[in-house]
Amino acid sequence: MAPLREFLVQIVPGSTLRDGLDRVLNARMGALIVFGDSPEVLEICSGGFHIDAEMTPQRLYELAKMDGAIVLDSAGTRIAWANVHLLPDPSAKTTETGTRHRTAERTARSLNVVVVSVSEEMGTITLYKGNERLPLESSDSLISRAIRMMAILERFKERLDEANASLEASEIADVVTVRDVAFVIQRAELVLRVKRDIAVVLDELGEQGRLLHLQFDELVVGVAEGQLLVIEDYLVDENTRAAVEVLDRVASILTEELMSLTRIVDAISPRGKALGLDDGVEARGIRLLRQVPQVSDELAVRLVAHFGSLHKLVRAPLRSFVEATDMTESDAELIKAEIARLAQSRILERLD
C-alpha cells in the first residue's frame, strides 16, 4: 500500500484530525500542516512558537487562523509548533501553482514527510508525501461515489453467479467449452477490479462507510478463491503454483482488453498450446469436492489424482472410492452420496 494510503486511517471522516481540518475548511480558511517534528523538519522552520500540547479539533482550527504552518508530531496527536514559516529546498520540483500548495509539495518531496494543505479558495484538502499527491473528497462525495460503485459491483457479481451456475451445470452434463471457463474467469476478474476501487473509497470514508463495508464484504467474499479454483480445476498441471501464475497473467490484462475472451484464453492456455474458445474441456472435480464437508483438502487431492476428471468422479462405483482412499465403506458411501446430491442439484438448476 502506498504511504499516503496508510496515512489515511489517521485522517478519515470521523477522526479527530479530520474534524479539525473540516472546521478549517468550513470556515473558508486555509492551513498548512506538517506531520513530524524531527530535527530535519525543525531545521526548515523559521519563527513561530513552541506549543507542545494535545492536538484537538478546536486548537487546530484556532491556530489555522494565523498565516504560518502548524507542525504536529508524526502521529498527529500533539501540536509541536504553530505559525512557523517553512523554508523547504527551493530546488525541489513542484507542479503546484499556489504558494501554500507549492510549499507543501516541496516540503513533502525534500523531507519525505506527510504534509496537508487546506485551500481556502478551492475548498479542498490535499495530502503530500515524497512524490505522492492525494486530494481528499468530502464525505458526501465519497458516499455518493461508493454507492454508485456498489451498484456496479452488484451487477457484476450477479453475472458472475449466473456464469458459475451455468458452468457447474455444464460440467455435470460434460459439455463444457473453453468459452464457458474463460467467461467465469473474466466475470470474476471484473468483480475483483471493482472491489479494489471500492476498497480505496471505503478506506477514505473510515467509520462513516461501516455499513457500506459490511455490504461490500458480503458481495466479494470467496470471489478470489473461486477464480483460483476454476483455474486449478481446468489446469492439466496439478501444481498450485502454476495456477497462481495463470492468475497473475489474468490480472495483468489491461482493463480495456478484459472484455475480450480471447485475451482471457491466451492467459489460461498451457505453455506451448493454444486453446480455442469452442474446444471441449473437462473439470478435474476440485470445486465440487470442496463443497463436500467430509472431504479434506488432502483427500480431495487423492480423489482427483485417482479419478482424473469430474465425470469419472461422479460416476465412480463405491468400490473405487474405497480403493482410492483406503477409507471405510460407510465413509465412502457418505461422500459418494453427497457428491451425487450436489451433481443432482446442478442438473435441476440447469433445468430451471
Other Cβ atoms less than 10 A from the Cβ of 23: the count is 17
Block residue for cell numbers 474463460: 182
- Looking at the fold, whether 88 and 184 belong to one and the same domain comes out as no
pLDDT at 120: 83
Confidence of residue 200 (pLDDT cuts 50, 70, 90): confident
Average pLDDT in the 144-153 region?
92
CB 60, CB 22: distance < 8 Å:
no
73: closest CA among 103, 36, 43, 21?
36
275: in domain: no
Question: Which CATH number belongs to the domain containing residue 98 in this structure?
Answer: 3.40.1700.10
Residue 63 has pLDDT above 90, yes or no: yes
Residue type, 255: T
Residue 81: what pLDDT?
Answer: 95
Helical (H) or strand (E) element with 254:
none
**pLDDT for 111 beyond 60:** yes
Q: Are 117 and 126 in contact (CB under 8 A)?
A: yes
Tell me the pLDDT band of 294, cut-offs 50, 70 and 90. confident
For the ranges 116-125, 217-226, 280-289, the maximum mean pLDDT occurs at: 217-226
Residue 122 pLDDT > 90: no
Q: Model's pTM, two decimal places?
A: 0.73
What's residue 239's pLDDT?
47
Check whether residue 31 and residue 118 sit in a common domain: yes
Asked whether residue 277 is domain-assigned, the answer is no
Q: Return d(Cα 198, Cα 215) in angstroms, integer.
A: 12
β-bridge partners, 82:
49
CA 151 to mean position of chain CA atoms: 17
Residues 102 and 218 in one domain: no
| Helical axes 240-251 vs 223-233, angle rounded to 10° | 120
pLDDT at 319: 84
Greatest CA separation for the chain: 87
84 forms beta bridges with 69
Dist. CA 240–CA 147, nearest whole Å = 36
Asked if 283 and 232 count as a contact pair (C-beta separation under 8 A), the reply is no
Whether residue 243 lies inside any domain: the answer is yes
Q: Which helix (H) or strand (E) holds 276?
A: none
22: left (phi over 0), alpha (psi -120 to 50) or beta: alpha
Distance from chain centroid for Cα 310: 32
Q: Is 9 exposed, middle or buried (0-12, 13-18, 19+ CB in 10 A)?
A: exposed
Residue numbers of the domain that contains 178: 140-268
The reply to whether 11 and 116 lie within a common domain is yes
Q: 37: which 3 cell numbers?
A: 517534528
Confidence of residue 300 (pLDDT cuts 50, 70, 90): confident
Closest CA to 166 of 219, 230, 262: 230
Q: Domain count of the chain? A: 3
Note whether residue 28 is domain-resident. Answer: yes
Taking only Cα atoms into account, the Rg of the chain, rounded to an integer number of angstroms, comes to 28
Q: Is residue 254 part of a domain?
A: yes
Q: Is residue 340 part of a domain?
A: yes
Q: Which set of grid coordinates corresponds to residue 109? A: 518531496
Identify residue 348 by its one-letter amino acid code: L
Q: Is 255 exposed, middle or buried (0-12, 13-18, 19+ CB in 10 A)?
A: exposed
Look at 182 and 330; give whichever has higher pLDDT.
182
With respect to residue 274, please indicate whether it lies within any of the assigned structural domains. Answer: no
Domain boundary among 90, 110, 136: 136
Mean predicted confidence (pLDDT) in 36-63: 93
Q: Which of 136, 167, 189 is the last residue of a domain?
A: 136
Using CA atoms, how far apart are residues 344 and 215, in angstroms rounded to an integer?
31
- What are the tens digits of pLDDT across the range 68-108? 999 999 889 999 999 999 999 988 888 888 889 999 999 99
How confident is the model at residue 163, as a pLDDT? Answer: 94
